[in-house]
Amino acid sequence: MRSYSIKGKSQFVFKRGLWLILLSLTVVAFVWGFDPSFHFLALDVIWVIGICMVLFAVILYLPFRAILFFGLITVSFHNLLDTINFENGKVQTVLWDLLHHEGLVDISNHFSIFIVYPLVPWIGVMSLGYCLGKLYHNDFSAERRRKILLLIGSGCVLLFIFLRAFNNYGEPQQWRQYTSALFSLMSFINTTKYPPSLLYLLMTIGPLLIFLSLTETFKNKIAQFFIVFGRVPFFFYLLHLYLLHLAAFTATLFSYSWNETVQSLKTMPDFPSGYGFSLMIVYLIWIVAIFILYPICKWYNNFKSTHQYWWLSYV
């Protein structure tokens, strides 16, 4: 997209955002409960990326520094809005949840919306991600880019430690000291993801930027293995959702009747008692899923690189 004009970039981002919203409300929504009547609708990560893209199509027309400033302000100060709440069931509740609050909204006795990812601060994160892409322009050497990534990533980690230590801002849940050092550490890093607090973003994005800085020159087989998934992220996302949810649906049938299984899916996220597996089993399933999907993603990546169909840029 570097060769696109601002108008061309805006149009592409806008259309891709609408496409993601459509898929989120249909293909992705269906897989969460396998319920064709859509009694339950989860507005999750694909939904919020789509909404952010639609809005970012307008933000793109702003000067670079304005986009950077908007992203920094949104991410840094959105936790000031945490104390604002509205009574459940009102229009203001739905609008506020869409903007800045995770919540389950009962539209009727037969239809509920679970807002998993609100707009703020993700629109700010997207703006900062766009600005970070400037480091990958040709006028930035790899060495200079690594130094900047390391500096920003380290700054995020240090700011996280500083703010978290004082328990004053950036995270709704305060951490506690326990007699066990491990429990104290777990409390310290236990931050809010829905919506992501400032400290959650600092403690996740910071280490990732450091990781990018340290691994940019890696060209081994392990790196190539993971790069395959990075080149077809949305394709992988859809495949892993259907694979894992079909597996979960099948596994549930061994413990519950068909009607109980279907009902549990309709009442998400309120799963029945005893539902699920131990953490070690979950990790094992994750590893197996990765190796099942790798050859499919590798094939699709090769297909994208050797074909010029217009729809390939949307999947």
- pLDDT per residue over 188-245, tens digit each? 999 998 889 999 999 999 999 999 999 888 877 888 888 899 999 999 999 999 998 8
Eight-class DSSP state of 173: S
Average pLDDT of the segment spanning 50-60: 96
Residue 32: per-residue pLDDT: 79
**What DSSP assignment string belongs to 30-58?**
HHHHT-TT-SEEEE-HHHHHHHHHHHHHH
Peptide bond into 63 cis (omega under 30): no
Of 49-58, 97-106, 271-280, give the lowest mean pLDDT range. Answer: 271-280
| Whether the predicted pLDDT of 174 surpasses 80 | yes
Average pLDDT of the segment spanning 255-259: 68
- Are 92 and 18 within 8 A, CB to CB? no
- The crossing angle, in degrees rounded to 10, of helices 221-231 and 279-306 is 80
Residue 78: per-residue pLDDT: 93
Going by pLDDT thresholds of 50, 70 and 90, the confidence category of residue 140 is: confident
